[in-house]
């Protein structure tokens, strides 16, 4: 993400925190910046390793609390992936995900046809706002290294 876009999004964080009566902390700013700079949809533990050199007193608990706050502010989304590890995405624009079931990589994927997918009509009272598609499979690297599938 470009520096100007990151700066604009950090300003948005400050504005939303103030609107909600939340403190604008250096930790929240650093975690959000690290997430915006990431293109790998990091886990809290991965974010911790990235932020720690610049903030050695940061705890993993602070990462989790900041991520919860960023999600509640609508600035970050949790990405459903394979496994039990939570992953996060700072890209709130409409997009989809490619999830590698081999190495666990998650990559943003944009497709106009998928953007036009409408929610099903019968959702048992559930009110859908958007549809996001997650495509599971093997990334190019894992596909090259995978044994051939029997036919």
Residues contacting 65, CB < 8 A, separation 6+: none
Q: Is residue 88 part of a domain?
A: no
pLDDT digits (tens, 9 = 90+) for 53-69: 999 999 999 999 999 99
DSSP-H helix ranges across 20-138: 26-37, 44-51, 60-72, 112-115
CA 33 to chain centre: 13
Can you tell me the distance from the alpha carbon of 92 to that of 42, in angstroms, rounded to the nearest whole number? 15
Give CA separation, 143 vs 70, 81, 139, in Å.
35, 18, 6
Provide, rounded to the nearest whole percent, the portion of the chain with pLDDT above 70: 97
Residue that terminates a domain, selected from 79, 111, 134: 79
Q: How confident is the prediction for the chain on average, in pLDDT? A: 91
Domain that includes residue 67, residue range: 3-79
> Tens digits of per-residue pLDDT, 4-32?
999 999 999 999 999 999 999 999 999 99
Domain presence at residue 85: no
pTM of the prediction? 0.85
Same structural domain, 60 and 100: no
């Amino acid at each position: 993400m470009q520096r100007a876009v990151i700066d604009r999004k950090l300003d948005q964080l400050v504005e939303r925190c103030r609107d909600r009566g939340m403190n604008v902390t250096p930790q929240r700013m650093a975690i959000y910046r690290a997430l915006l700079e990431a293109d790998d949809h990091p886990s809290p533990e991965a974010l911790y390793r990235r932020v720690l050199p610049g903030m050695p007193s940061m705890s993993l608990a602070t990462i989790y609390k900041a991520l919860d706050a960023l999600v509640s502010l609508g600035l970050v989304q949790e990405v459903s992936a394979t496994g039990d590890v939570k992953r996060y995405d700072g890209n709130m624009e409409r997009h989809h995900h490619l999830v590698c079931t081999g190495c666990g990589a998650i990559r943003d994927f944009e497709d106009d046809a998928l953007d036009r997918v409408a929610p099903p009509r019968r959702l048992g009272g559930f009110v859908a706002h958007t549809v996001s598609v997650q495509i599971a499979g093997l990334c190019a690297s894992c596909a090259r290294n995978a044994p051939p599938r029997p036919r």
